[in-house]
Structure formats: structure tokens, C-alpha cells
Amino acid sequence: MKIIDLRFTPIAIADPPLRSSYGLHAPYALRTVVELVGEDGLVGVSEAHGGEQTLADFERAREAVVGHDVYDLARVWLAIVRTFGVTAGVDAADRSHTHVLPGESRLDVPLRVYAAIEVAALDLIGKMVDKPVCDVLGGRVRDEVPFSAYLFFKHGGGGGVGEDVRSDVWGEALTPESVVEQAIAMIAEYGFGSVKLKAGVFDPDVEIETMHALRKALGPEIPLRIDPNGAWSVETSLRVGTELAGALEYLEDPTPGLDGMAAVRRGLLASGVDLPLASNIAVTSFADVPEAVRSDAVQVILGDHHYWGGPRAVTQLGRLCETFGLGLSMHSNSHLGVSLLAMTHLAAATPGLTYACDTHYPWQHVEDEILQGGRVPIVNGAVRVPDGPGLGVDLDRDALARGRARYERCDYRSRDDAAEMCRIVDPTWKRMVPAW
């Protein structure tokens, strides 16, 4: 079926004041809803990064996409590559982008644009053939996809501004004790079987203490992860890694760059600590993988279809990880249910996925969801793979319109966690890499 139109709807969704080494989440997260319209009126949907530049990037790609058959995805990719003036293949994305937020690099624009188109195309194909997206990708190896609780140091507030202010269901969490409370509450609500802390916010000793407190409160059965987004020196990473070795299933991006990660790996092994290092910062594209393998800098890759080039690329990443004995987990940004279900279908169709996926979904609010029927259930820490056609989503047009109206009300057009950090917490704050 020929693609006759694309619709891009920018939306804003309330986002609580979550901390990371990049700064502070602003009151709205920006997303784009992409709709791919087939000639017989069927529509495929996906959810992508947001803001003005993203919208302009999508618009720029319109001519590369419209007119193609929805199955003709390889040529859609080549056309997008031509549009953005980059070389196809691994050169389409440059090497790791530690300086920017994952998924926000200008270097991976063609991959991100294509990824959103591919998801919408797979949704449309699934609807055409009455099969879930996981089956279009090659079939599922699991019926439910496990996700991990994603803990944050958090200021008070539920996100949003003015009429969009949301209730603060999780409360402030700026101490080890309150993060433990956050974990217990999140597990109680969603049944998560593994837990990740976004770190790189406070002195590493506080974050080590937090992890020990989590281990003590949650018991030995819950796998734990910590991710300071590269905020630590090699030396600090070694100290934290050694301190937490017995408590962690993996240590994520302790320090920036493949050289730094490799040094941490070597140092830990030299101390007898075989703790896997995970990354979505030192490794953000296929181009990063050979050096990561060669130097043993990374043992677990966090894939993300939104910026690795779509679900098919991530299934290929899964095979690559299996081949080289790497683990595969999944990265997340703030997102709604369309992305959650795309991640779920992809994870279901990726045998090489070896860890529960990240998701920010618990931080978003039912008022901001754009799906008919409301939020996607997470039960026992997992999302059930929908059996219906495509992604298994139907857009709630009123909710989508409200999301767009929020976008109009929102007074910024790109994500800037550092600016928000200065505005709210500390006017002199600057991102330091490494900070400790």
C-alpha cells in the first residue's frame, strides 16, 4: 500500500522534576506523534522525540517517504539518507555522543527520523495483515516483556505548568531513605522485578549508600543497576564498582567514552571484580560497537529503536550482541504508551535481549496518555505483548489534541535539562564530566 501522507503532531506531556547528571527534567517532556497514512485510509502510528527541531527534521523527510509502498522500507531509508546528506551504513551515525542527551544528538537525525517512520510502517503493515508488530518482525520469543523500575532523585512536584500541573504521586526523593520509599512504592504499583537508579546527582558516597539501602530494603532477589550518565572519573568508577560489585547486575555508563569505560573494565577485572558495564552513552550506534568489543569497554548494550535506526536494526543489534557474547538491554526516554508498546513488540521479537528494559513510563500521568483506553498496564513488572494487529494502539484524538495544546502552552521547544537545573536548583550549575 502506498504511503500518501505523513502527519506529525508535536505534543507536550507533564514530566516530574527528575534529576540526572544532565540536570533536571523540565515540567514538560516533548514528543512527536507520527502518523503514516496509506492510500486506503489505514494509518500507522509511532511516537518519537519532540520539539521544534525534531518536527522540522520530520518535515524535511516528508518527500523521501511519501509515495513509497509501506513495505519499501530499505529505499525509504536510502531516500532519508540522501535527504540529510549523509552516507548510508554505519557512517550515517557518528561515534558516541557523550556531550548530549541520549537520543538528542544531531548526528543521528536520519536514524531517528527513519526509526519513527519504520515503527509507523510496521504498525500499518500489522494492521493490513492483521498481525502484531512482533510477528511482522519475525515472531515473538516471549509473551511478556519485563521492564525495570527506574528510580530517580526527584524534587517535589508532579510536572506540568498551570492548568497542566499533575499531582505528585511519588513525592520528593533527595535522600537514600526517600529513594527506597520510591522503590517500594513503584514495585508495589507495578510489580517490577529489577531496579535501576539514575545516579550522578549527589556525591558518590550518597549514591553508594542509596544502593546499599535498596539492597537491604528489597532483599537479595531484586537485580539492581546504577547509572550516573558518565558523571564519574575512572578512579571514582572503580571505587563505586568495587563497593557495589556484589549488589549490581550491571554498572551503566559510570564514566564517559569508550577509553574510560575500558579503563574501568580493566581496573575492575584487575581487582577481581567481573561486573558487567552497560552503556547507552559510550555506545550509541553500530559504529561504536567494534571498538567497544575490541577494548572490552562494554559488556551490555542498551539499544533503543528510537535512535539505533528502528526495530529491525535493533533485532540486528540483538544478533550482533548474541554473536559477540554481549548482553542487550533497552534504553528509555520519557515516553507514552505508543513508544512503550513499540519497545514491547521489539523486545518480544529479539531473542538476544537479556535484561529487563528501562522505561520512564511510571513517571508519566494518565491525563497525558494519548491511547484509547488509557495507560498500558504494567503487571508483575512486565507488559503483555498485544495480540491485536500492529502495535495494538488506537489514538484517542481528543487526548492527542490536548497534548498538542499543552505543546502550544509550553514555553520551550527543545529539551534542556541544564537550563532547568539552573532555573530551579542552582543558577551556577554546570554539567561536569566527570563531576566526581
What gap in Å lies between CA 403 and CA 249, rounded to an integer? Answer: 37
Annotated catalytic residue 331? yes
Catalytic residue among 25, 97, 154, 198: 198
Identify which of residues 217 and 320 has a Cβ nearer to a copy of itself in the complex: 320
What gap in Å lies between CA 183 and CA 217, rounded to an integer? Answer: 9
Among 5, 56, 89, 397, binds a copy of itself (CB under 8 A): 89
Of 272, 207, 154, 265, nearest in space to 436 by CA: 207
Least distance to a copy of itself, CB of residue 361, Å: 25
Least distance to a copy of itself, CB of residue 382, Å: 18
What would the grid cell of residue 421 be?
537545573
Annotated catalytic residue 198? yes
192 sits near a copy of itself (criterion: CB under 8 A): no
Q: How far is CA 375 from CA 169, 300, 367, 407, in A?
A: 16, 30, 9, 20
Q: Residue type for 70, please?
A: V
Strand order in the sheet with 224-227: 149-152, 195-198, 224-227, 248-252, 277-279, 300-303, 327-330
Of 209, 224, 227, nearest in space to 149 by CA: 224
Could you list the beta-strand ranges (E) of 153-203. 195-198
- Contacts to a copy of itself from residues 53-72, by CB under 8 A: 69, 71-72
Least distance to a copy of itself, CB of residue 142, Å: 9
Catalytic residue among 155, 305, 331, 365: 331
Interface map 137-176 toward a copy of itself (x if CB under 8 A): -xxxx-----------------------------------
247 sits near a copy of itself (criterion: CB under 8 A): no
Q: Give the number of other CB atoms < 10 A from CB of residue 219.
A: 8
Least distance to a copy of itself, CB of residue 321, Å: 10
295 sits near a copy of itself (criterion: CB under 8 A): no
User: Which of 55-63, 244-252, 283-291, 338-346 is the region at the interface with a copy of itself (rule: CB under 8 A)?
Assistant: 283-291
Strand order in the sheet with 43-49: 3-14, 28-38, 43-49
Of 22, 15, 435, 3, nearest in space to 231 by CA: 435
Instruction: Kindly state the DSSP code that residue 164 receives in the 8-state scheme.
Output: G
Give the total residue count for the chain: 436
Interface map 300-319 toward a copy of itself (x if CB under 8 A): ------------xx-xxx-x
Total interface residues for a copy of itself by CB under 8 A: 41
User: Which of 88-96, 147-155, 192-200, 359-367 is the region at the interface with a copy of itself (rule: CB under 8 A)?
Assistant: 88-96
Interface map 347-376 toward a copy of itself (x if CB under 8 A): --x-xx------------------------
Identify which of residues 178 and 316 has a Cβ nearer to a copy of itself in the complex: 316
User: Which of 32-40, 126-134, 251-259, 410-418 is the region at the interface with a copy of itself (rule: CB under 8 A)?
Assistant: 126-134
Among 2, 62, 75, 430, binds a copy of itself (CB under 8 A): 75
What would the grid cell of residue 76 be?
525509504
Element (H, E) at 232: none
Exposure of 408 by Cβ count < 10 A (0-12 exposed, 13-18 middle, 19+ buried)? exposed
In this structure, the dihedral spanned by the alpha carbons of residues 365, 367, 372 and 376, taken in order and rounded to 10 degrees, is 10
Least distance to a copy of itself, CB of residue 374, Å: 29
Give me the active site residues, please: 198, 331
Residues lying near a copy of itself in the complex (CB under 8 A): 69, 71-78, 88-90, 128-129, 131, 135-136, 138-141, 286-287, 289-290, 293-294, 312-313, 315-317, 319-320, 322-325, 349, 351-352
